[in-house]
Amino acid sequence: MSKIIDGKAVAEKVLAECLEDIQELKNAGVTPGLAVVLVGEDPASKVYVGSKVRKCAELGLHSRKIELPVDASQEDVLAVVNELNDDPLIHGILVQSPPPPQIDEDAIVRAIDPAKDVDGFHPVNVAKLTLEDASGFVPCTPAGCMRLLKEAGVETSGAEAVVIGRSMIVGKPMALLLMSKQGNATVTVAHSRTKELAEVCRRADIIVAAIGMPEFVTADMVKEGAAVIDVGINRVDDSSAKRGYRLVGDVAYDEVAPKCSAITPVPGGVGPMTIAMLISNTIKAAQQSMA
């Protein structure tokens, strides 16, 4: 019987810890501040931004939501980032991805003060992650995945882990975390061009699926007793569903779950952890600003 890893419950635990840190900071005269910048009208991005701002309000954080039109220029976005870099009330800056095509996202990330880069994508924070420098910010989704593994009692030390996906958002930082002294796993990073991918996955004690393809990981790719973390969230047309679609992960959950020692559902697995770790990073930024 597989153990279903409840991301909502773990996220609430993380946020309860955050509340204690927030109160300590407020007692010292500092209210953690998060600014979220949204460029354009992407519906999913608007939902994500709204949920982040609401969570800040619930926890008593200072937050700013800055919305720019879909035709905003690179200079417009950079001007906002520079203003936020200089704002002492803002400790964390997040520019919602993806921006419209005229925006050079890499240049925007590089413009954010690394000390306020709570997404963990600035080259300085990527280097700190690689060097295992604890002062850096770890990208929220991989950090959340590591916390889920810990809370589920999955032993990473000495385990063979396969990360499917090599993005800078999830795949690469996830691999670095698993192979770090925190994880002590032996890690293979696989992707769509990996030869004999199913065979590679069948060796794994831990699979992290972050390839962005609905129900890509099937039962024949997973060995008995493996732990599976499903990062994907994909819309699949379904005429029988109320909205005309359903949300599925990168793992074919119904057929894979019976083989697993532990598995995250979609939704309700990794998703809630991303916002929780964003709040945690913002608090860390506020704490470090006082040093």
Q: Strand 186-190 and strand 260-263: pairing?
A: unpaired
Answer whether 11's CB lies under 8 Å from 51's CB.
no
* Bridge partner residues of 209 (DSSP): 164, 230
Residue 220: closest CA among 204, 199, 205, 206: 199
CA distance 72 to 38: 10
Answer whether 22's CB lies under 8 Å from 61's CB.
yes
Q: Is the peptide bond before 98 cis (omega within 30 degrees of 0)?
A: yes
Burial class (CB in 10 A: 0-12, 13-18, 19+), 202: middle
Residues taking part in catalysis: 52, 96, 119
